[in-house]
């Protein structure tokens, strides 16, 4: 799949998933309009700006699937896994159309870009779709997406409160008292957004993963003022450096992936050194929170599956739930061997920012919340099946964590619920209620008039029925329903009466699993009084 950004937009437009709005629109209305729209929106005439403004391109699961060329949402995870296992190194090109217009020095002016606000409590206009490439002298290149709040014409901040690789690069530069150069590519195909959003181990080039997903190298071109590449296909590129201010500048609030307003963040300042764009560039504003969700979730699926594979646990299904904002919760069904409920929890809880994980057996549908809750209700003992790990790496955006001094990263708790059937508990306790003749007795047929035909036995056949029942039960214990089926030549009332006779004659008993058997035979369950 080697489609570029504009080709993807054309495909959205052709599928009537992108609407062109050509009349003048006040940028103050954009966030709300995007939020209301089930289509991506391209505002051609944003009052006071020369550049069109695009938003909402991957705001639905359907468009995320379209972006990745998949018919099933689960295929996105497979594409990502393929990209991780088969990375393709970026290809360096000399230049690209992004350099058609270049502003440097005093000509730099962030306010030329139609950067909208999103929600009411936002701290200011925020660049949300910037793919940031940075370099650390020891660890090499890194890509990620971080938000930039526009403050002055050549000054913004970068939101790196979370402990990720970019934060570590900036921290190392800060400790050495030097700026940390970055390139910010805006207006890119969702494949690159997904690659950058994937939390690869330090030293792994996320653009090579994006190349692996595409099956073709991502093209990078050199920046003008910093010794870094940018994504050659971008609509707009901002060249900048994170200043060694430390985490001292107040920013926010930010609308977060949690669907909550984050609080005030303390971030470093970012000095803008150049802005370049295509002559007819569009500014892409990624609309929080949903545009962040649909391509983020598969990165969790992939990482959980990989961690459980390493742990040697067989996974049936995973649901990174939307209630957990596709970040914090996973329900995992496994084909369990003894003890693996706990192993699965330990492996999954180490993944990314997962906070709460529920592991269930493979008979539970992880996509059915009621079934999962039922497994928790019927299979869990809190003192045996809960794991609480305090002091783990946490996401500072978690509103339930204590307030920290500026620049400090909090730790948090991870909780695992082992809702598999515990070792030593008889499995027949989990036999589900099921109904006999389900294949043949269909209510629709009876509503349509279907009638059964059973010959009603003569009273003198009662003794025959009792004798035959006893013979059958002597050979092997049977459930009542099985016996009723074997002796279906008698009507049910005759058979029930025959069994009643046998019971009265004290010839019937039960096996441990509740089947009928002959009293005193080797099959019968021993009552407490006979122990």
Ligand X SMILES: Cc1cc2nc3c(=O)[nH]c(=O)nc-3n(C[C@H](O)[C@H](O)[C@H](O)COP(=O)(O)O)c2cc1C
- Minimum distance of ligand X from residue 24's CB (angstroms): 28
How many angstroms separate the first and last alpha carbons of the chain? 72
- Minimum distance of ligand X from residue 344's CB (angstroms): 24
Task: Output the 3-class SS for 354-412.
Answer: CCEEEEEECCCCCCCHHHHHHHHHHHCCHHHHEEEEEEEECCCCCCCCCCCCCCCCCEE
Cα separation, 331 vs 378, whole angstroms? 16
Find out whether 387 and 418 touch, Cβ atoms under 8 Å: yes
- Minimum distance of ligand X from residue 30's CB (angstroms): 17
73 versus 480: smaller Cβ distance to ligand X: 73
Cα separation, 47 vs 67, whole angstroms? 30
Which residues neighbour 366 within 8 Å (Cβ) at sequence distance 6 or greater?
Answer: 317, 318, 319, 331, 332, 333, 360, 372
Which residues neighbour 200 within 8 Å (Cβ) at sequence distance 6 or greater?
Answer: 84, 165, 206, 209
236 versus 344: smaller Cβ distance to ligand X: 236
Find out whether 268 and 170 touch, Cβ atoms under 8 Å: yes
At 507 the three-state DSSP class reads coil
296 versus 478: smaller Cβ distance to ligand X: 296
**How remote is the C-alpha of 252 from its chain's centroid?**
26
162 versus 343: smaller Cβ distance to ligand X: 162
- Minimum distance of ligand X from residue 174's CB (angstroms): 15
The values of phi and psi at residue 63, to 5°, are -70, -30
Which residues neighbour 436 within 8 Å (Cβ) at sequence distance 6 or greater?
Answer: 481, 485
Cα separation, 416 vs 328, whole angstroms? 12
- Minimum distance of ligand X from residue 370's CB (angstroms): 31
Find out whether 325 and 344 touch, Cβ atoms under 8 Å: no
CB atoms within 10 A of CB 467: 12
- Minimum distance of ligand X from residue 291's CB (angstroms): 6
Q: Kindly state the greatest CA–CA separation across the chain.
A: 110
352 versus 516: smaller Cβ distance to ligand X: 352
Q: Which residues bind ligand X (CB under 6 A)?
A: 128, 142, 144-147, 159-160, 162, 164-166, 197-199, 286, 292, 296
- Minimum distance of ligand X from residue 90's CB (angstroms): 15
CB atoms within 10 A of CB 459: 8
- Minimum distance of ligand X from residue 397's CB (angstroms): 8
103 versus 284: smaller Cβ distance to ligand X: 284
- Minimum distance of ligand X from residue 164's CB (angstroms): 3
84 versus 313: smaller Cβ distance to ligand X: 84
Stated as kind and residue range, the H or E segment containing 417 is strand 411-419
- Minimum distance of ligand X from residue 47's CB (angstroms): 26
54 versus 517: smaller Cβ distance to ligand X: 54
146 versus 509: smaller Cβ distance to ligand X: 146
- Minimum distance of ligand X from residue 1's CB (angstroms): 19
The conformation of residue 261, written as its DSSP 8-state character, comes to: B
- Strands 269-277 and 265-267, by their bridges, are unpaired
99 versus 265: smaller Cβ distance to ligand X: 265
Stated as kind and residue range, the H or E segment containing 43 is strand 40-43
31 versus 477: smaller Cβ distance to ligand X: 31
- DSSP H helical ranges for 137-263: 165-175, 190-197, 206-214
- Minimum distance of ligand X from residue 426's CB (angstroms): 45
265 versus 515: smaller Cβ distance to ligand X: 265
162 versus 333: smaller Cβ distance to ligand X: 162
Find out whether 179 and 173 touch, Cβ atoms under 8 Å: yes
- Minimum distance of ligand X from residue 85's CB (angstroms): 18
Which residues neighbour 284 within 8 Å (Cβ) at sequence distance 6 or greater?
Answer: 54, 55, 57, 129, 186, 187, 188, 235
């Amino acid at each position: 799949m080697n489609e570029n950004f504009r080709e993807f937009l054309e495909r959205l437009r052709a599928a009537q998933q992108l609407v062109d709005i050509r009349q003048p629109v006040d940028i103050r209305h954009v966030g709300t309009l995007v939020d209301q729209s089930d289509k991506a929106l391209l505002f051609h005439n944003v009052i006071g700006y020369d550049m069109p403004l695009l938003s909402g391109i991957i705001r639905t699961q359907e468009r995320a699937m379209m972006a990745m060329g998949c018919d099933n949402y689960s295929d996105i995870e497979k594409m990502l896994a393929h990209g991780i296992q088969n990375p393709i190194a970026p290809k360096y090109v000399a230049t690209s159309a992004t350099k058609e217009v270049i502003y440097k020095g005093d000509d730099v002016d962030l306010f030329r870009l139609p950067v909208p606000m999103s929600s009411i409590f936002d701290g200011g206009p925020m660049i949300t779709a910037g793919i940031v490439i940075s370099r650390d002298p020891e660890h090499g290149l890194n890509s990620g997406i971080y938000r930039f709040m526009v403050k002055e014409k050549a000054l913004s901040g970068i939101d790196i409160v979370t402990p990720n690789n970019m934060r570590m690069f900036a921290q190392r530069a800060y400790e050495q008292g030097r700026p940390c150069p970055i390139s910010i590519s805006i207006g890119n195909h969702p494949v690159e957004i997904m690659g950058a959003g994937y939390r690869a181990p330090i030293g792994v080039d996320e653009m090579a993963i994006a190349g692996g997903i595409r099956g073709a190298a991502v093209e990078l071109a050199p920046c003008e003022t910093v010794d870094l590449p940018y994504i050659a296909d971008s609509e707009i590129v901002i060249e900048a450096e994170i200043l060694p201010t430390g985490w001292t500048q107040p920013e926010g609030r930010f609308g977060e992936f949690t669907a909550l307003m984050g609080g005030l963040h303390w971030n470093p300042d970012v000095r803008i050194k150049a802005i370049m764009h295509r002559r007819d560039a569009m500014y892409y504003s990624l609309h929080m929170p949903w545009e962040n969700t649909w391509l983020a979730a598969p990165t969790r699926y992939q990482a959980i599956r990989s961690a459980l594979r390493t742990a040697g646990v067989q996974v049936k299904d995973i649901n990174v739930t939307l209630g957990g904002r596709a970040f914090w919760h996973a329900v995992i069904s496994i084909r369990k061997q003894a003890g693996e409920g706990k192993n699965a929890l330990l492996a999954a809880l180490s993944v990314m920012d997962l906070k709460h994980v529920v592991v269930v057996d493979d008979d539970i549908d992880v996509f059915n919340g009621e079934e999962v809750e039922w497994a928790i209700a019927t299979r869990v003992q809190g003192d045996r099946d809960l794991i609480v790990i305090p002091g783990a790496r946490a996401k500072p955006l978690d509103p339930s964590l204590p307030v920290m001094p500026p620049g400090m990263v909090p730790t948090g708790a991870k909780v695992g619920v082992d809702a598999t059937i515990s070792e030593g508990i008889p499995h027949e306790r989990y036999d589900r209620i099921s109904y006999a003749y389900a294949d043949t007795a269909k209510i629709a047929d009876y509503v349509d008039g279907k009638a059964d035909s059973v010959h009603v036995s003569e009273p003198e056949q009662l003794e025959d029925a009792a004798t035959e029942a006893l013979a059958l039960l002597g050979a092997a214990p049977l459930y009542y329903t099985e016996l009723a089926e074997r002796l279906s030549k008698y009507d049910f009332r005759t058979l029930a009466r025959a069994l009643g006779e046998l019971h009265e004659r004290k010839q019937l008993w039960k096996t441990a699993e509740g089947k009928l058997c002959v009293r005193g035979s080797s099959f019968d369950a021993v009552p407490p009084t006979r122990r």
